[in-house]
């Protein structure tokens, strides 16, 4: 339904809807429901505008119908009605000349029960679909009130419900672990200072260094899907490549995320093709330091063959998705008191990037390039520099603020 996509379901509203839903279905209503299903899901149907819909959409519409009829039977105030109530069928209720009034009263009743506008907006989507179906009946009589047909009245209610739902969504409470992107940078820089000042047990300093690397992985480049960082492995998906490998193999270079080999069996490279992403020096520097420190702290009963994971459990294996999410959340909590998971960090970055676009600091081209970078496509590596540039400009702003306060770590 163009322009009126469904909102995310609210679990409380779903549970509440079961308390008044019509459960005793008459034979006429059952026949109407089956005919409605066929009309909506049939691939080719000359009596329907638009394409067929999925069965889940039809079931949602039918669920809304049964809720409406349950309300009509048990909760609607009929004290001002004249005559008998309409039969609890699609033709009787939805085909009624008073269906616009019924819908308005139903929405008001839902509001009184604290049902969220996101749920009400979804219900109105279904009610419009049900009315459109009933209007196709040759016995349906077009009627209206105050210059609006029943269909126009329903569309008005739907438009208003969607508008209210959008406002609710705009002002709903943010995730309690939300940080602004500059705050994320501050957390990383504070952690670096803790590491640089740390004294005492080598294990404590090594743990702080690991935290620096973990925080850098989510702040020095666009926060990635869990799988990429979680599965980075030295000499496989994480490589040090000299700037001039032939002439000066021991010279300066950089760390790269290497997803060019099929043997890596990484989901990102399977879906988006081979990839080679150069990591910024603010991140790469601490990868090198961490690799050397970890090797110095370890004791081997056999020769180290290398190839370990950047982040690994006590058994030397990579973390599972859930375990890695816990590691990330715990790392952030140690240094700022909040526990954003990787998915939320990604959202934080995207919101910041869109703010930059709103302030004309990031063009649509940069936004598009960012989407590309977060998929690591090798073919567009050159354009990805633009994203890292705008990201580093954000880091620079934070660094300048810290310098003014006498803090210098980056």
Tell whether the model's pLDDT for residue 400 goes beyond 70: no
Structure tokens at 343: 């998915």
Contact by Cβ (8 Å): 327, 214: yes
Give every CB contact of residue 257 below 8 A, 6+ residues apart in sequence.
Answer: 228, 232, 237, 238, 275, 276, 277, 279, 376
User: What is the pLDDT confidence band of residue 52, given thresholds at 50, 70 and 90?
Assistant: confident
What H or E segment, with its residue span, contains residue 144?
Answer: strand 144-145
> Tokens 């039809």 — which residue?
58
Tell whether the model's pLDDT for residue 404 goes beyond 70: no
What is this structure's pTM?
A: 0.53
45's torsion region: left (phi>0), alpha (psi -120 to 50) or beta? Answer: beta
Query: How far is residue 383's CA from residue 404's CA, in Å, rounded to a whole number?
Result: 33
Instruction: Compute the Cα dihedral for 164, 170, 171, 174 and give only its sign.
Output: positive
Give every CB contact of residue 174 below 8 A, 6+ residues apart in sequence.
Answer: none
Q: Which residue has the higher pLDDT, 167 or 63?
A: 63
CB-side exposure of 73: number of CA atoms within 13 Å?
A: 16
pLDDT in tens, 336-375: 999 999 988 988 887 787 776 655 555 555 445 454 444 4
Question: What string of DSSP letters covers 371-394?
Answer: HHHTTT-GGGTTTHHHHHHHHHHH
83's torsion region: left (phi>0), alpha (psi -120 to 50) or beta? Answer: left
Strand spans (E) along 259-316: 276-278
Residue 329: closest CA among 315, 318, 319 = 319
CB-side exposure of 179: number of CA atoms within 13 Å?
A: 26
Structure tokens at 169: 């969504």
pLDDT in tens, 282-298: 899 999 999 999 888 76
- Considering only 73-87, 243-257, 383-397, which range has the smallest mean pLDDT? 383-397
pLDDT score recorded for residue 263:
59
Q: Which residues pair with 239 in a beta bridge?
A: 256
């Amino acid at each position: 339904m163009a322009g009126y996509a469904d909102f995310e379901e609210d679990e409380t509203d779903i549970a509440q809807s079961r308390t008044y839903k019509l459960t005793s279905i008459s034979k006429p209503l059952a026949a109407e429901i089956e005919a409605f299903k066929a009309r909506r899901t049939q691939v080719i149907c000359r009596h329907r505008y638009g394409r067929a819909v999925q069965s889940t959409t039809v079931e949602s519409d039918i669920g809304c119908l049964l809720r409406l009829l349950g309300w009509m039977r048990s909760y609607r105030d009929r004290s001002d009605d004249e005559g008998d109530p309409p039969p609890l069928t699609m033709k009787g209720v939805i085909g009624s000349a008073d269906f616009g009034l019924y819908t308005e009263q139903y929405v008001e009743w839902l509001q009184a029960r604290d049902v969220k506008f996101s749920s009400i907006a979804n219900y109105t989507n279904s009610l419009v679909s049900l009315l459109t179906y009933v209007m196709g009946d040759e016995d349906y009589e077009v009627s209206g009130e105050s210059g609006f047909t029943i269909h126009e009245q329903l569309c008005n209610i739907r438009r208003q419900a969607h508008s209210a739902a959008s406002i609710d969504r705009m002002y709903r409470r943010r995730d309690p672990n939300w940080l602004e992107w500059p705050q994320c940078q501050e957390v990383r820089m504070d952690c670096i200072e803790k590491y640089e000042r740390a004294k005492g047990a080598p294990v404590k300093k090594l743990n702080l260094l690991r935290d620096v690397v973990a925080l850098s992985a989510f702040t020095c480049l666009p926060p990635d899907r869990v799988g990429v960082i979680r599965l980075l492995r030295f000499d496989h998906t994480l490589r040090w490549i000299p700037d001039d490998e032939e002439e000066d193999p021991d010279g300066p270079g950089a760390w790269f995320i290497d997803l060019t080999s099929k043997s890596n069996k990484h989901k990102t490279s399977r879906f988006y093709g081979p990839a080679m992403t150069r990591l910024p020096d603010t991140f790469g520097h601490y990868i090198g330091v961490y690799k050397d420190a970890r090797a110095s702290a370890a004791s081997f009963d056999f020769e180290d063959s290398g190839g370990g994971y950047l982040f690994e459990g006590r058994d030397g294996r990579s973390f599972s998705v859930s375990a890695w999410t816990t590691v990330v959340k715990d790392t952030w909590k140690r240094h700022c008191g909040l526990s954003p998971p990787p998915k939320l960090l990604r959202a934080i970055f995207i919101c910041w990037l869109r703010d930059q676009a709103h302030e004309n600091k990031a063009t649509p081209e940069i936004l598009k390039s960012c989407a590309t970078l977060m998929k690591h496509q090798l073919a567009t590596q050159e354009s990805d520099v633009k994203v890292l540039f705008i990201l580093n400009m954000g880091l620079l702003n934070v660094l300048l603020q810290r310098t003014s306060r006498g803090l210098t770590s980056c």
